[in-house]
Amino acid sequence: MKSMLYAAGTIAALLISWGANAQDRYVEPPPVLVSPDLSAPWVMQLRSAPVRARQHRDAQADVQAREYRTYRQAQGTAARAPAASDYRAGRRAMPAPQPADPQPVAYNASPSDRSWSMSDPKWLPQVVEYGGPHAPGTIVVDTKQRFLFLVLEGGKAQRYGVGVGKEGFGWTGTEKISQKREWPDWRPPAEMIAREKAKGRVLPAHMKGGPANPLGARALYLGSTLYRIHGTNAPWTIGRAVSSGCIRMRNEDVTDLYNRVPVGTKVVVI
């Protein structure tokens, strides 16, 4: 009898242990807390691809929320400051469009388009060796490699990933920064409006500056041309040839560059 009770107790213990292990197997692991700083490339390597994509979207939402709050403060508008959850849920609290302006045209990109470039740390800002002929303080844009270099002292350069002109819209030359603007308004040229209209897309004649604006947080105007080095509302396009000739940067990066260079800075596009 004692042996039977002992055997039954042993079996019960094994079943309880097995049940606990089986439950542990299917328990969701605790969430990984990560910094929303997009300049931390290790963030993208923590979990499986779907989880990385979600974490990237959440991090981008945090950046957008911060940018919007900064924009509203600069405008002196006492509107409710949106939370990052508003952006994650698709409730993007952008500035209301003016009645006379058409609705802004968004960049249509698939989820894979939206994440491919931002997952590669080479597009993030970093100091690199520089052996070119240009003096410190010069901006050099390499349109083939899709990098912008701010030449520093001591054979170094601050390098940023950029988006460049698509096929047929690329250019090369030397200009100087003629003016700088924070949260610039966008007035697409008539040629662009006509070109996009032929494709079935209606561009506004004017769009106020803000997080929804294609020029992003900052713009550096190049001479008397229509070209600019500017931010973007589509950061997943960095590293691609997608623009009409302008050099686009992440908003964080163009803000950093904006603070480093004065009007009159030489810009060489190769």
- Which residue has better confidence, 33 or 204? 204
Mean pLDDT calculated for residue range 27-32: 47
Helices 251-260 + 49-75 axis angle, to 10 = 50
- Which residue has better confidence, 175 or 34? 175
Per the CB < 8 A criterion, the answer to whether 153 and 244 are in contact is no
Model pLDDT, residue 65 = 62
| CA 150 to each of CA 41, 101, 129, 132, 147: distance values in angstroms, whole numbers, following the listed order | 21, 37, 11, 11, 10
Per the CB < 8 A criterion, the answer to whether 93 and 224 are in contact is no
Model pLDDT, residue 61 = 58
* pTM passes above 0.75: no
Q: CB 131: neighbour CB atoms within 10 A? A: 6
| HSE of 110, CA atoms in CB hemisphere, 13 A | 3
Nearest to 211 by CA among 73, 118, 37, 101: 73
Residue 99 binned pLDDT confidence (cut-offs 50, 70, 90): very low
Q: Which residue has the tokens 């849920």?
A: 89
Per the CB < 8 A criterion, the answer to whether 172 and 270 are in contact is yes
* Sign of the torsion angle spanned by Cα atoms 120, 61, 186, 74: negative
Catalytic site positions? 230, 246
In this predicted model, what pLDDT tens digit does every residue of 69-97 receive, in sequence order?
665 665 555 445 555 555 444 444 444 33
CA distance 209 to 193: 18
Nearest to 268 by CA among 134, 165, 127: 134
- Average pLDDT over the chain reads 74
Model pLDDT, residue 54 = 58
Residue 143 binned pLDDT confidence (cut-offs 50, 70, 90): very high
In this predicted model, what pLDDT tens digit does every residue of 56-70 receive, in sequence order?
556 555 666 666 666
